[in-house]
Structure 1
Amino acid sequence: MKQRSARTFCFIAFLLAGISLPVCAQLTSEQQSAKSQGTELYNQLKGASALPYLQIAATAGDSEAQYYLGEAIRKNKRYIDAAAKEAYEASAEQGNIYSMIRLGQMGGDLCATMNNCPKSQKTPVEWLTSAKSLATEEAAQGNAESMYLMYEITGDKKWLEQSAENGFALSQYLLATDYREGGGFFLLPSSRADAVERWMKASAEGGYPRGMTGLATALFEKKDLEGARNWTERAAATGYVEAIFNYGYYLSGKNSDFGFPVDFVKSYALLSLFLELDGGGGAKEDAEYVISKIREKINKAQLDEADTFAANWKKTHPALSFFPFKLSR
């Protein structure tokens, strides 16, 4: 079934500061560029750097930018402060279910522990009720993403399964991961493995990078090395940090069971892309370590070739991204 994006409603949002923001506004090219830059930085876990860019699009009334602005503030502060709450509310008032869920979780946020949660227009229970009501309506109309959001709201795995069946790639990945980790009931281990591969394949073919890496792993486990290599390369081409690291690492001669030919130049080039990162649980440091070992094995001409390859890759591929879950898990 063709996936439709979650519906939003257009009206004027009022921040607690008293500023009236236009909503559902058509962004100018400059505002759209700022949103894209902010989202790119956010996806590289550079939340602080993303803030000024997201603020531009959020102030212009973009609901998604408002949500990500709230997320960036929350992650930097480690709790929902007044600025994050205002960004979420501006987004939620447009019908953004993700923002409603965040506001509904405020009762369990660190701000509640510190007893300094900013006053909201609704209680957390009321926000979750609003989120559930809208998601239920959208799910009834066949919206696979809203079915996923119903799973997040209720915790009922039937919604995750329904969302996956209706083609939402994230849900397909999450369902496959759940099965891989022992969820569900299967009479035979082979049946479980088949289900994992089925849903990882659906997610991968739906364009989800985590699904691509998951499928590569599933194929490797069943000794389909050609398929595993293919999906490793395809995942790397999306800009997914984990996939690029894996691909570059394999090309350096590590984990040779995948069957990648050793290519120090390409390996060095791919891993050098990580030098622009400053977050992500040590991804940059891991890449630097492998690069240092490769540097001992190649000459100046090969280093220059690697630099050229890396520069061309950046021009022809999406920016690096950790593809963090939109609702942090």
Structure 2
Amino acid sequence: MLVKAATSLILLLLTWAGNSFANELTPDQQAAKERGAALFNQYRVGEAELRIAAEAGDADAQFYLGEELRELNRFMTRESQKWLESAANQGHIYAMIRLGRSGNDLCTIMSNCPQGSKTPDEWLKHAYRITLPLAEQGDAEAMFLMYKITLDTEWRTKAANAGHALAQYGEAISIEQGTGFYLFRSRQQEIEKWFKASAEGGYPKSMEHYLAILVEREDWEGVRHWQHRIAETGYAPGIFELGMHLAHEPERYGHELDLVKGYGLLSLLLELDGGGNLRRFAQHVMPKVAAKMTPEEFEQALEFAEEWRATHPPVSYFPDKLSIY
């Protein structure tokens, strides 16, 4: 699963960094970090929460805070660079890569980029030196980070072959867009192979693509299976789709009517008051579902939603950390 993969990446970076990757957080600081990261992944503003953990020295919170400030201002500001450098100085490879790409930032055009402790090229070289030895030893995470550092697609292919779900997604997208020479049938087979592998590795956007392949094949049992799998990752579009189909608003894939779970899932999207259109879509569908429910079912739906929140990852759009597959 992605949560497990993210944890392994943090542990891997801990090994690479000379210092501790993050100071130990208090329970309140950890809760603030998790809340801030969840808001970031919902395209909402988590600055206040992230700042609590960032100021406590947590490198991942520093990275997310720096990214959020950069995105809110649409270019690298002095403060966003400060937080990204704080994370990078603790060994955060994604922060190094972001700083390494800042030479292409809007601030370059505006001639007001903040002066950093290293040049963009120096940050990329630093990330390269740290990451290459582990990539050469066959570590899939390191291979994928080498792709992010160099943009050499051979590293992405190596990471995909080593089982990295996001790299596998990138391979599928690249082949789908016409990369490589394939006969039509073999191209489609290769695309399906990578989407399926990535989906089985827990990446919800690949699950979404693989599900579309199964729809074309009219494999309704497979479609239903993957709709549930997608929703269980917390992927917002997947939650919306499963909620609609369980409530038969509409239903196309043979789901048994379940108004309680359908309404409960749709209600999870009401917290998305910052980014995307799914909150508005859910608000459009929910009254239609509620009109078919008894008062008892309505209460059960709210209880189901609370239980789901307690046992599943936060609702997320799973934005790409550095926007390149």
Same fold at TM > 0.5: yes
Give the Å deviation of 1:264: 3.2
Give the Å deviation of 1:157: 1.7
User: In the alignment, what sits opposite 2:224?
Assistant: 229
Note if 1:316 corresponds to 2:314: no
User: Which ranges of 4 or more aligned residues in structure 1 deviate by more than 6 Å?
Assistant: none
Note if 1:287 corresponds to 2:282: yes
User: In the alignment, what sits opposite 1:16?
Assistant: none
> 2 CA distance for matches of 1:283 and 1:324?
15
Note if 1:181 corresponds to 2:177: yes
Q: What letter is aligned with 2:258?
A: D
Q: Is the 2:140–2:162 Cα contact (8 Å) retained in structure 1? A: yes
Q: Is the 1:280–1:322 Cα contact (8 Å) retained in structure 2? A: no
| TM-score between the two structures when normalised by the length of structure 1 | 0.87
Aligned with 2:63 (options 67, 77, 85): 67
> In percent, how many aligned pairs have the same letter?
44
- Which digits, 9 at most, give the CA deviation of each residue in 1:74-103, with x for residues without a partner? 122221111110111111112222111111
Note if 1:57 corresponds to 2:53: yes
Give the Å deviation of 1:299: 4.1
Aligned with 1:30 (options 21, 25, 28): 28
Matches within 5 A, 1:115-130: 115-130=111-126
- Which digits, 9 at most, give the CA deviation of each residue in 1:152-198, with x for residues without a partner? 23322211111111111111122122223333322232x22322222
Give the Å deviation of 1:275: 0.8
User: In the alignment, what sits opposite 2:91?
Assistant: 95
> 2 CA distance for matches of 1:10 and 1:33?
26
Give the Å deviation of 1:309: 2.2
Note if 1:302 corresponds to 2:310: no
- Give structure 2 stretches of 5+ with no counterpart: none
> 1 CA distance for matches of 2:81 and 2:110?
16
Q: Compared with structure 1, are the counterparts of its residues 283 and 314 closer, same or farther at alpha carbon in structure 2 (3 Å cutoff)?
A: same
User: In the alignment, what sits opposite 1:240?
Assistant: 235
Q: Compared with structure 1, are the counterparts of its residues 222 and 193 closer, same or farther at alpha carbon in structure 2 (3 Å cutoff)?
A: farther
User: In the alignment, what sits opposite 1:161?
Assistant: 157
- Which digits, 9 at most, give the CA deviation of each residue in 1:62-121, with x for residues without a partner? 221211111111122221111110111111112222111111111221222222211111
Q: What do you get for the CA RMSD once the two structures are aligned?
A: 2.2
- Give structure 1 stretches of 5+ with no counterpart: 12-21
Higher helix share: 2
Note if 1:207 corresponds to 2:215: no
User: In the alignment, what sits opposite 2:141?
Assistant: 145
Describe the SS at the equivalent of 1:323. Answer: coil
| TM-score between the two structures when normalised by the length of structure 2 | 0.88
